[in-house]
Structure 1
Amino acid sequence: MSLPLLTGSIYLFLKWAPSNYQQPVLTAIGPYISDSALGTVAKVCGWVFCLSMVSGFNSWLSWKVENNWVEDKYDWNRELVLVTGASSGFGEMMAEQLAERGTKVITMARRPLKPELSAYKNVHHYQVDLSDWDGLALTAKQIKEEHGDPTVLVLNAGVASRTPFMQKKFTDIKKLIDVNLISHFAMLHHFLPAMIKKNHGYIMSIASVVGYLSMTGLCDYGTTKSGMVALHETLRQELRHVHKANKIRTSIIHTGWTKTAIIDDWEKGLKERGQITMPLADVVKPIMELLYSGYGTQLIIPGFLGFVAGMRGWPFWAQEFVRDKLNPYTGEYR
């Protein structure tokens, strides 16, 4: 039973139910709870019910605004989904689940796919370095010629390192930013026009809570994830006001520490700090549920990390306290 339904039912029963219904219940619980305590329960249930309803309405309103108050249909047997960074981690698992469902999937990565994913007849892989703009343009043209225009983009490609800023090589920083952020701009330039023309499409960006809460060793990575937030927000505005394409969905996913190869360098520090790392499958599940819903939104996983989105409005001392406590740096780097 949902919290609003439970608390609302208790409040209404205690305050407004006819006495012939109330009395048998009050008689039964009388030996265990005083009248004053029962009154407190009624007040608490009333407040919880009201707050739950306000929270629910707020979520519903955000949901409708994020999707421009319009409906659209997605036929996953006919959509063409393009997933970047599909050779491991999030991209690999998402591509595999899409393929299992029967959806046609285009995958892009600088490495080959694992044999199990390559075996699907509805998966078509293009091995390309996403920081190679000329190669990416040629690959995009080839995809359109061979399969048509993708209707769904999953912008997932990303790399990371935990090296402090002054120990990072400039070439490594540039490479990371090119892959993690600039490639997303390139993908949109290549594939968004067809979505705008049809007023149908879905753009899902896999970001990170680091986009709101960066820390030692993550200056370049955090920069790209913050940049994805700005890209997502601006893209939404331009789709609505410039292109009048109000049915194109946009989602941005902010994940916490998830067990993928990208966090191997952080494992020691995370364990020392007692921080949890989530199984990949547990994080991908709500992402896929959102994708299949055909609606766009901002999704933070796990949900209790939702506070990070508002942290920049906190007093500075409180922000730094949280960063210090969550910082996985151990004094080692590579």
Structure 2
Amino acid sequence: MASFLYSPAIDMLASLGRIILSPVLSGPILVSITYYPDTVSRIITSAAKVVPEKVMTSILSLPPHLATTSLRFLAVLSLVRTVNGALNTMASNSWRLTAAKGWDWPNEIAVVTGGSSGIGKGIVERLVALGVSVAVLDIQELPKELQGNPRIRFFHCDVTSTESVAAAAEAVRSEFGYPSILVNNAGIARPMPILKTPEEYLRKIFGVNVMSLWFTTQQFLPHMVQVNKGHIVTVASIASFVALATAADYSATKAGALAFHESLASEIKHQYKAPSVLTSVIHPNFVRTPLVDGFSGRLERSGVRMLTSDRIADEVIAQIKSRRGGQLVIPNSATGISAIRGWPTWLQEVVRDAVARGAVKP
């Protein structure tokens, strides 16, 4: 299953596919073959001196029209892929292709929940490097390397409590100002079968992973809507699409996070008429963070290749810097898994069976 979701081979194939299906490559080659066949012939003749004879013989034995037809097909595919990408970007940004205006990083304020460790810590570090002032909302104190930085302020906050979030939000506004970026990153996980999940923990994981999204957004979205500028980032998971055995609670919360993101984006556009308030949702595969310390060994023995929190933080910051909203699956080669609900039932079950074999204790 790991190789299905994330492996070096799939990453390499995905990268190769992006190159092959780039109009920058297929377009000029097609034009050259169509309008400058003599030049192409001379290039092929020169290449024959360095390419193995058997390979060159195979290439030259192909009918001329086959190469042209293949390149035309690739050119059409690359064009469709480019148009599809542009439409995806526009759809996630109130049908606007250009980046949102009015952003000046040294004058921006960000709130990051769960910013004292893991992915959140990496996001904080990169935002500060960008010049952004950052308010960290967490129950864990700041690590030493983040302490003393004038652009970082820590606010002790239990994100499962409306009172705690409201108090922290008021302190942020009083000490820092009104945030233009909200990164809902806080999350917990503790794998266990459904029949062994205690009510207390069930309420806690839904509080941290889902209900907190409402509490923080209710505090910080109104001003973003008022000035028609902001970016709310929701850190979900690839479990938003694939339910994990022994992690029904976690999978349900991440599916909920995706539903929250989609509804939030629609409300901002239609309810509040604030098209320049951006929303993004991030779906990482398994990440090596304190969150998975208790079961990372079992995942790796089943063949899962863990991502690093730095990689996720890099992608989140790249998304913020783009000044565009969107949906990211990390790694990109696993994007296809987002369509699993539309697959035939038998194929969905093959995937879930493979995941369960790696997740359930032998």
TM bin, normalised by shorter chain, reads over 0.9
Q: RCO higher in 1 or 2 (8 Å CA, sep ≥ 6)?
A: 2
Query: Which residue of the other structure, out of 260, 274, 282, is the alignment partner of 2:311?
Result: 282
Q: What pairs with 1:191-270 in structure 2 (closer than 5 Å)? A: 191-270=220-299
Distance 1:168 1:287 in 2: 32
Equivalent AA in structure 2 for residue 136 of structure 1: V
**Residue 36 of structure 1: SS of its match in structure 2?**
coil
| Change in CA separation of 1:115 and 1:25 when aligned onto 2, cut-off 3 Å | closer
Partners of 1:78 and 1:100 in 2: how far apart? 13
Q: 2:331 aligns with which of 302, 305, 312?
A: 302
Alignment match of 1:57 (pick from 66, 69, 83): 83
How far the C-alpha of 1:292 sits from its partner, in A, is 1.0
Conservation of the 8 A alpha-carbon contact between 2:123 and 2:314:
no
Give the whole-Å Cα distance in 2 for the aligned partners of 1:44 and 1:270: 42
Aligned to 1:164: 193
Corresponding position of 1:5? 24
Q: Does 1:147 align with 2:176?
A: yes
Q: Distance in 1 between matches of 2:144 and 2:207?
A: 28
**Take 1:326 and 1:40, find their aligned partners in 2: how far apart are those partners?**
42
Task: Give the Å deviation of 1:330.
Answer: 3.5
- TM-score by length of structure 2 reads 0.87
Query: How far is 1:121 from its partner?
Result: 1.1
Deviation by residue 1:192-236 (Cα, 9 ceiling, x = unmatched): 111111001110111101011111121111111111111111111
Matched, 1:21 2:51: no
Q: Deviation of residue 38 (structure 1)?
A: 4.5
Q: Is the 1:160–1:221 Cα contact (8 Å) retained in structure 2?
A: yes
Partner AA of 1:47 in structure 2:
F
- Measure the CA separation in 2 of the matches of 1:26 and 1:132: 69
Structure 2, unpaired ranges of 5+? 1-18, 49-55
Question: How many Å separate the matches in 2 of 1:172 and 1:122?
Answer: 35
Q: Distance in 2 between matches of 1:29 and 1:86?
A: 54
**Which amino acid letter does the alignment assign opposite residue 65 of structure 1?**
A
Pairing 1:129–2:154 present: no
Counterpart CA distance in 2 for 1:132 and 1:219 is 23
How far the C-alpha of 1:146 sits from its partner, in A, is 1.9
**Contact 1:205/1:228 (CA < 8 Å) preserved in 2?**
yes
Residues 126 and 23 (structure 1), Cα distance of their counterparts in 2 relative to 1, 3 Å cut:
closer
Q: Deviations over 1:273-301 (max 9, x none)?
A: 21111122122212211111111100110
Distance in 2 separating the partners of 1:22 and 1:258? 47
The percent identity for this pair of structures is 28
Q: Would the aligned equivalents of 1:11 and 1:43 in 2 still touch at CA under 8 Å?
A: no
CA contact (8 A) 2:245 2:355 kept: no
Choose from 75, 90, 109 the match for 2:119: 90
Pair 1:127–1:37, CA change in 2 (3 A): farther
- The residue that corresponds to 1:331 in the other structure is 361
Structure 1, gaps ≥5 residues long: none
Cα deviation, residue 72, structure 1: 1.9
Determine helix, strand or coil for the equivalent of 2:153. strand
Q: Secondary structure at the match of 1:134?
A: helix
